[in-house]
Amino acid sequence: MLLVCPWLTWAATAIGPGSGLPSLMVEALALDDRGFLWIGTQDGVARFGSHRFLTVELDRGHALPDRNVRRLLAVPGAVYVATTSRLHRFDLATESLRAVDFGDAGVSGVIGLQRDPNGLIYAVTETGQVFHWRDRGGARDIERMALVASAPLPEVNDLSLGREALWLATVRGIYRVDRRTGKTELLDLALPEIARGAVHASAIHETENGELWIGFWNDGLVRHDPRSGASRRLRPGDPGAGAIRSTSIYSFLDTPRGLYIGTNRGMVVHRPECDCLRALNQPEWDAVEGRGFVITDLIEEGDGVWAGVWGTGITRFSAFDEVFENQVRVPDREDSLSHPMVYSLHVGVGRRLWIGTYGGGVQWVDAAARRPGEAWPLQEIPWGNRAVESRFIWSLHEEDKRLLIGSGRGLMQWSDDRLQDLYPDLLSIRDFLRTSEGVELVGTTYGLKRLDAAGPHSVPLGPDASTPPPSAVVWSLLERGEEVWVGTANGLARLSPQLRLIAWHPVGGGATQLPGAVVWTQKRGLDGTHWLGTSGGLVAVRGTPGAPHFERHPLPEHLGIHGINSIEFDTLGQLWLGTPKGLVRYRPGTRQAELFDRQDGLVSDQLNTHASASDGERLYFGGAGGLVAFDPRAVPERTVRLAPDVVKMRLGQEPWQPRRRELALAHEHQPLQLEFTAFQFGRPERVRYAYRWTPLESAFTELGDAKSAVFSRLPSGRQVLQLRAEVIGDPASGVIAPVLTVDVAMAWHETLWARLLMALTVLALAYLVYFLRSRQSRLYAHGLARDVRERTHQLTEAKEALETANAKLQQQVSIDPLTGLDNRRELFQVATRLDARGTALTAMLIDLDNFKRINDEHGHQVGDAVLVDFAMLLRQVIGHQVACARYGGEEFLCLLDDTDAASLGALSQRLLDEVRQRSLREGATEVRYTASVGVAIGHAGETAEAVIRRADRALYRAKETGRNRVCLD
């Protein structure tokens, strides 16, 4: 049973105006051995290596120019190019073109060109002549097949090679040509609606199982079984032919993935696993009627299919284009999407998909109507005369057989086929939550609201009801444990079951802070993990509900994605993230991320907040332009096939030359300019290049996205250019290939005879120099020995003087010059060493009482004598000191290793008693002085600096309480 699925549109990569194509009127495609895509147009043929078109001259050597290419065929080592007037063979090794002749005449009017699995090439002309040969690099063996027919064949349009016969599509139907006998007969399709011999067949293909697919001009598509004679016609509007939107079929391509069919309204593909037809188009193709998108030829390339589009250029469809199903607004259909901007999606009871748009209200489609490959027939909730802002749908939530609709103006419900206004004064509703306790909460741009019978009430998110929250905009709500988590535009608020604030989690780098201010979405995964999508990235919530820990999952830098707008999960443990730059498949275990965008089949790169849903099998994401649906299990792994190579080369300003594997250059050669490609048609803009010359260089020189390089004055000898190509963000895709071997001639001085002559000359000069230098050396040695002895003596004296000076300098740096005690700098160096050792210390800080009065009454000379006298006394009394120093002015500091309070008190009192008995006589003047002492006993682990501070406090008390005493801290 054939299932036909209409209207589905996929995105694709299109190359059209301004790209470098000779003409947009594309008629033929081929893929050669090297990887070049050949495009035959109405005005010439070009080779495409993923970033540049190279034109192949067809007029050279012919009196009558003819650039209208009708067919292309790639065979090992060559490409055949058929124009309206001649058949050419392009040799890939020499990049030379020559005509293919039959006898003394050329082969003209070729309209069909194919090669069978045995290597035999068939060409059929418009007039029904059939030629066949094997490609041996020439045209000597070409033969014309003798056809046995009751009448001349009508105009031929296409050729298909079957296992036993050739099939010719003509303007009068399908002809079968026996490959052994040449017998020709008209195929009877046994279809009353197609008159025998009166229909225009435009394309034909025989599948591996022997079934014929026949395309007609203006009469649709026919499947015919030659064994049973059964035929089935498929036209737009016929039962089961929904994907066929055209009555004119132009081309077929048979691949392992399915049979691709080109029409004048886009392309459909037949899937053998479901025996169904699906459309495969660019979104804008569906809105164009008539012959705007005639698919003239198809060619498979890697995981993609190229389509030649008459009047538009070429278009590439990848494997991803066949997975992502986009639903868009189609102007001619009332049951299509009402508005291109989708901002909310929800799968409800019975797996019904609810769709909220920004301006088009709410639509829905039931699970049975969401058939893969079809545009869904959407139904719409009648909106009545409500305000336009109420059609801006931000959130959808279904429960208790009712659908809650959060809009730009009001909260509504759809129940029993009635739309009711619940709270029309609530504005810009972003999310809805019913807690396990039955509390209904609504997040809006004006704050968090609690709903009850009396209406909506504001829930304060600040420290108290009188303090405003950091931000009033609430984007997301989720219950975690007994807490309510509120995602705002300025962080995350956690509320108690009584809706009181527990904690705010703002932006920051901590374990309980967010990478971005806005918490767009919150989702609970299938394993129970709580995920946050923020403006700064993806966050997994770990830890207990009361003590959460935020684990950041940044996406790879090359993606350039920070904001996460929506999150969904699949059964494989993968996250699917809607972002402003496309759809991301994320594997939390390995933290691998893969981006899908318009080039992969999405209708838009902009995926919106809350616009995602899952029905257990397929995922749905909404964005600018419509929504996308897909089965995550069907999304293939991205395969990258790179084949780095040289496209063309030239020396200096000479003309560009075809690529060669080996090149001989003069020693002083002109700059060598090379252009590269990697034959990456899916993502050519992401390919990065690097090169190195071996064996000269071990590291690669990066070229970035540059696809050319210039080399001036390469070193002499044989060297190989290695080219590396990789797709940005995918280091595993890197491929290194040798692309060019260069032999650079040696300079005259690098030849063998020149090197021998230079070697002999060098040896003779070396001997002469040796003889002269030897004699001079002996004379010089005697004088040198004398000079060495004198210089050694001078150095010894200088060394001794330097050591003496260093010792004096060290003493000056560490000793107080007046008292002979350590200075403050030396004391703190000692303290640092003691701290590192961990020794408990005692600090004794001593201050001479009323020292300023001594200076004022007796002069500074007497004051200095007092300082010297006290320093001498200090050395006598503190016999077990660790360190003693002049701390500054009339202050002295001792660091002791004694921690016994009694002995320290006795030592301090003895010092004071000795001071009281001291007297200095300067002339007729007798001077007496006293001192105050502050003592602090250190504790284990306490730094010397801390002990000194406590001793300073004790000294302060001693001076405050009368001086001439000891105080202990």
Catalytic residues: 890
Element (H, E) at 573: none
Q: At how many degrees (to 10) do helices 752-814 and 824-837 cross? A: 110
Under a CB-based contact definition with an 8 Å cutoff, are residues 596 and 584 in contact?
Answer: yes
Q: How far apart are CA 241 and CA 264, in angstroms?
A: 16
**Looking up tokens 């040798």, which residue turns up?**
738
Two tokens, residue 31? 């893929």
Q: At how many degrees (to 10) do helices 824-837 and 944-960 cross? A: 130
Closest to 79 (Cα-Cα) out of 47, 111, 50, 110:
47
Under a CB-based contact definition with an 8 Å cutoff, are residues 310 and 294 in contact?
Answer: yes
Instruction: Report DSSP letters for 712-776, one per residue.
Output: -SPPSEEEEEEEEEEETTEEEEEEEEEEEEEEEPPPGGGSHHHHHHHHHHHHHHHHHHHHHHHHH
Measured on CA atoms in the order 194, 198, 202, 208, is the torsion positive or negative?
positive
Q: How far apart are CA 413 and CA 579, in angstroms?
A: 29
Report strand pairing: 474-480 vs 483-488: antiparallel
Under a CB-based contact definition with an 8 Å cutoff, are residues 628 and 602 in contact?
Answer: yes
Under 8 Å CB-to-CB from 67, ≥6 apart: which residues?
22, 42, 43, 44, 45, 58, 59, 83
Measured on CA atoms in the order 698, 704, 706, 707, is the torsion positive or negative?
positive
Q: Where are the alpha helices (DSSP H) in 286-436?
A: none
Beta-bridged to residue 755, according to DSSP, are none
Q: Using omega within 30 degrees of 0 as the cis cutoff, is the peptide bond preceding 695 cis?
A: yes
Coil vs helix vs strand at 792: helix
Rg (CA), the chain: 46
Coil vs helix vs strand at 819: coil
Instruction: Report DSSP letters for 78-117, one per residue.
Output: EEEEEESS-EEEEETTTTEEEE-EETTEE---EEEEEE-T
Q: How far apart are CA 612 and CA 628, in angstroms?
A: 9
In eight-state DSSP terms, residue 600 is: G
Two tokens, residue 615? 């029905």
Q: How far apart are CA 602 and CA 584, in angstroms?
A: 12
Element (H, E) at 824: helix 824-837
Q: At how many degrees (to 10) do helices 860-877 and 851-858 cross? A: 140
Amino acid at 948: I
Closest to 69 (Cα-Cα) out of 45, 89, 52:
45
